[in-house]
Structure 1
Amino acid sequence: MSSDIAIKVENVSKCYQIYDHPRDRLKQFILPRLRRGLGVQSKQYFNEFWALKDVSLEIRKGETVGIIGRNGSGKSTLLQIICGTLNPTGGNIQANGRIAALLELGSGFNPEFTGRENVYMNAAVLGVSNDEINARFEEIRAFADIGHFLDQPVKNYSSGMVVRLAFAVQAMIDPDILVVDEALAVGDEKFQRKCFARLEELKANGTSILFVSHSAASIIELCDRALLLDHGSRLMYREPEAAVRAYQKMLYAPADEYSRLIAEYRATDEDGETGRVRDASRADTAALAPSNATFDAGLVPETTTVYPIQGAEIQSISIRDSADEVVNILQSNDVYQFEVKGRFLKQFAGVFFGLHIRNVSGAAITGQRHPEEGVYLEGIQAGTDFTIRFSFRMNLSPGAYFVGSGVWSVEEPNCAHRILDAIMFRVAHVERPMSFGYVNLMCDEPSVKLVEK
């Protein structure tokens, strides 16, 4: 295995034997041996369930890889095999370096031991010496921030406290490879932010990170590549934007479309070496347009994804200025109307609309829903045309952005229609910007008071 590869997974499969009745397990243990001894053809008393089927991938050192897929797609099984807590039925796993894992809630903790005792026990399992853990103990204590509970039995902890301590141990010992399985979803917002900040720090220091998350934003923001699994098989190992987009499209697809998408993804699967290619060149070209322009015909996204039409069809999305002209070069602080037009093809109840704005990396910067959460439009008749306008004051920082919209219902199918990255726009360059990031929230110029002493 190459020295720059942290984890290499080769044709890994995992099969479970599922028994309809407890007695069938005993039959399987005894009767096939007797049949073979008598020269009679053996019979199988269990059903096979393949949690993974010939999954292969490589993760480079310092790379962050996300794993996404529906429940039961094999995500957790793959992580357990990589960590060595589960043996594969077939295939091979190679890893370079020390692996730290945060899998099921509380896994690896003895509930009768105190938090302090579990810290040292976990560290010993990871091959960390007492001297090393002594040197890092105060950092672990501070990161977990569970106060006097550190010296109480873990069985008295809340789920959030267990995650705090588990993550503190695994992430503060500087592992070569860190594996996380959705555990961070248990913590509160402040702790989640602290965890993600630590993940970014580990990544910067060369740690390879492999994690499962149902948060599309986390996958896109943190990961270099993403693996999409379905029913135990690899469908796609690509840049995270493409994998997340494919996954979301699968979630809302009807049965016949779902089968077609699976075949399409398998046929086009590649190993993700392309990296992040999403419209960067177009964004750079757009930045050269004159600041007084209002429309640039070159601002056309190459990542438009149209979901199946299931009772409604979005026919156009556009941005209009105060003069009702279609524009795609926007000025800071001006108000614009994002207009969505379409038609309902069937009768619906409980309808609502949504529109989102994403940045070049694919993270949702902002969005709107109408009506508000918990309120819906009722009694929509087939053949009804709709036009909805979302109003935005353009407080985004200069740069390129992407707009998508959708129509949803509380009825099946929930997603009547949706288009991702339907159009693209640019917020014009400001000569002397005073803010940075994605959003300009500044109200007034900062005031400075200097006192000489």
Structure 2
Amino acid sequence: MQADGPAIVVDDLTKVFPIFKRPTDRLLQMLSMGRKRYYQTFVALNRVSMTIGRGETVGIVGRNGSGKSTLLQIIAGLLQPTGGQVSVSGRAAALLELGAGFNPEFSGRENIYLNASILGLSQAEIDARYDDIVAFSGLGEFIDRPVVTYSSGMYVRLAFSIAASVDPDILIVDEALAVGDEGFQRKCLARIEALKERGTTILFVSHAMGMITQLCDRAVLMDRGEVLVAGEPKLVASNYYRLTHAPADDRERVRAEILTAAAAEQDDQPEIRSGLDENLQSQSRVEYESLGARIVDPRIETVNGQRVNQLSRGRMYRVRYGVAVEQDCRQVRFATLFKTKTGVELAGRATHRLHDSMLDLEAGERLELTFDFPCSFLPGTYFINVGINGLVDGERKSLHRILDAVMFQVLPDADTSMVGLLDIGIIPSVDHHPATAQRPPAGE
């Protein structure tokens, strides 16, 4: 079952590649032990941030070398970022480099079992879906031949058929569909539409603006590792055409105009970035007596460690607090609880519920507790309780507890369609059935 909150959160992501002019420079770099640099750097991604909601279809566009594929590879877990963080919630299936995840010496049949198991399917699940995978791929008798003999189009047929068959929560596609023939592309588009209707989150790169405007709820234009503009697909597509068709000597001006227009549009929107208001302090804080351990400095932080108390819906945050152990404690558990300002308990979490996995702590130890959470709260004011319990003389007791330890606000945003306290990902739809019955003649 999927958790609440966004499907993908990209926060301040940076990726830098070393570029060696000669193969010997790579060896010299290893031998220098970092004392001298024999390479130049290429910044593929420069502080990219974005949040993709559950069930949303987002297209990434841009010129070759703009960082699109690098971004998708990091989200898919194939590359590690140089800086920043990515959070992916749910089972993801990725169709990236041609034939990635395939063993070229294995047959198509064997690669179905290999690739589908990598994507998380059991043997029984693969058996049940095998015939549908083969039928969708249209490979027929080629399914028992080594994939090293396949054409690029056959690679894509098999790869997409497997990726779409696992019922992923998130489907990531990088331009691979451009390799297939027109008939297979139509089949893929129909399957993508079906996945969208089931609530699958879809993220893909394409140079086909028709596909972007047809399928996407939102699009992102990247250039030189940066996000130039994000928003309505047709607007992003028009800016993509402006940038790619601009003469080389005029491209800088066009790029600057796109950035300026995007910044101006952002300035017109309500400010919803995370922040810290020093005046936002809990006046109802109640701290209980310590019985062997003490909670230190409870707070909320961003994933980059910035202390905040003004949050934006849809972003990832952390509840953090230190613990100073004052005397030996056995089978210790740590917890946090979110409440409304009227005391309604919304959600909470504790560590280690099984006795054999609880911690035994010694006097003098110090710990740091972290509870990651997506901000699914609707705009308003909320409080956080924090607590520790453990065995005291064989009886489980509270070792330290602070009520209303942290006060925070969720800032308003442009979406006014939701009501209540939590965004649980409700997706409305309307089945419109026009009236077909004829009205009786007047007077009857």
TM normalised by structure 2 equals 0.57
User: Per-residue deviation at 1:2?
Assistant: 8.4
- Residue aligning to 1:195: 188
Secondary structure at the aligned position of 1:269 is classed as helix
- Residue aligning to 1:167: 160
Instruction: Tell me the distance in 1 between the aligned counterparts of 2:58 and 2:138.
Output: 28
User: Per-residue deviation at 1:269?
Assistant: 3.0
User: Per-residue deviation at 1:32?
Assistant: 4.9
1:102 counterpart = 2:103: no
1:19 counterpart = 2:20: yes
Offset from partner CA, 1:348-381 (integer Å, 9 cap, x none): xxxxxxxxxxxxxxxxxxxxxxxxxxxxxxxxxx
Secondary structure at the aligned position of 2:7 is classed as strand
Instruction: Tell me the distance in 2 between the aligned counterparts of 1:264 and 1:96.
Output: 35
- Find 1:153's aligned residue among 124, 146, 151: 146
Instruction: Tell me the distance in 1 between the aligned counterparts of 2:7 and 2:145.
Output: 37
- Residue aligning to 1:49: 42
Instruction: Tell me the distance in 2 between the aligned counterparts of 1:84 and 1:110.
Output: 19
Aligned residue runs from structure 1 range 331-342, under 5 A: none
- Residue aligning to 2:80: 87
Secondary structure at the aligned position of 1:44 is classed as coil
Would the aligned equivalents of 2:3 and 2:89 in 1 still touch at CA under 8 Å? no
Q: What amino acid does structure 2 have at the position aligned with 1:248?
A: Y
Offset from partner CA, 1:169-189 (integer Å, 9 cap, x none): 000121000011111111111
Structure-2 change in CA distance of 1:67 and 1:9 (3 Å): same
Aligned residue runs from structure 1 range 66-77, under 5 A: 66-77=59-70
User: Per-residue deviation at 1:90?
Assistant: 0.9
- Find 1:135's aligned residue among 121, 128, 131: 128
Instruction: Tell me the distance in 2 between the aligned counterparts of 1:185 and 1:176.
Output: 23
- Residue aligning to 1:248: 241
- Find 1:204's aligned residue among 197, 206, 212: 197
Structure-2 change in CA distance of 1:32 and 1:142 (3 Å): closer
Structure-2 change in CA distance of 1:190 and 1:19 (3 Å): same
User: Per-residue deviation at 1:18?
Assistant: 0.7
1:225 counterpart = 2:226: no
- Residue aligning to 1:10: 11
- Residue aligning to 2:401: none
Q: What amino acid does structure 2 have at the position aligned with 1:229?
A: M
Q: What amino acid does structure 2 have at the position aligned with 1:74?
A: G
- Residue aligning to 1:336: none
User: Per-residue deviation at 1:268?
Assistant: 3.6
Instruction: Tell me the distance in 2 between the aligned counterparts of 1:74 and 1:113.
Output: 32
Aligned residue runs from structure 1 range 208-287, under 5 A: 208-255=201-248, 257-269=250-262
Aligned residue runs from structure 1 range 170-185, under 5 A: 170-185=163-178
Q: What amino acid does structure 1 have at the position aligned with 2:12?
A: N
- Structure with the bigger RCO (C-alpha within 8 Å, sep 6+) is 2
TM normalised by structure 1 equals 0.56
Q: What amino acid does structure 1 have at the position aligned with 2:68?
A: K
Unaligned runs of 5+ in 2: 269-444
Deviating beyond 6 angstroms after TM superposition, the runs of 4 or more aligned structure 1 residues are none
Instruction: Tell me the distance in 1 between the aligned counterparts of 2:156 and 2:3.
Output: 34
Offset from partner CA, 1:73-111 (integer Å, 9 cap, x none): 111111111100111111101011011011111111101
Offset from partner CA, 1:271-328 (integer Å, 9 cap, x none): 99x9xxxxxxxxxxxxxxxxxxxxxxxxxxxxxxxxxxxxxxxxxxxxxxxxxxxxxx
Would the aligned equivalents of 2:62 and 2:223 in 1 still touch at CA under 8 Å? yes
Instruction: Tell me the distance in 2 between the aligned counterparts of 1:2 and 1:256.
Output: 48
Q: What amino acid does structure 1 have at the position aligned with 2:27?
A: L
Instruction: Tell me the distance in 2 between the aligned counterparts of 1:32 and 1:158.
Output: 43
User: Per-residue deviation at 1:30?
Assistant: 2.4
Instruction: Tell me the distance in 2 between the aligned counterparts of 1:182 and 1:206.
Output: 22
Offset from partner CA, 1:164-217 (integer Å, 9 cap, x none): 111100001210000111111111111110000000000010001111111110
User: Per-residue deviation at 1:255?
Assistant: 4.2
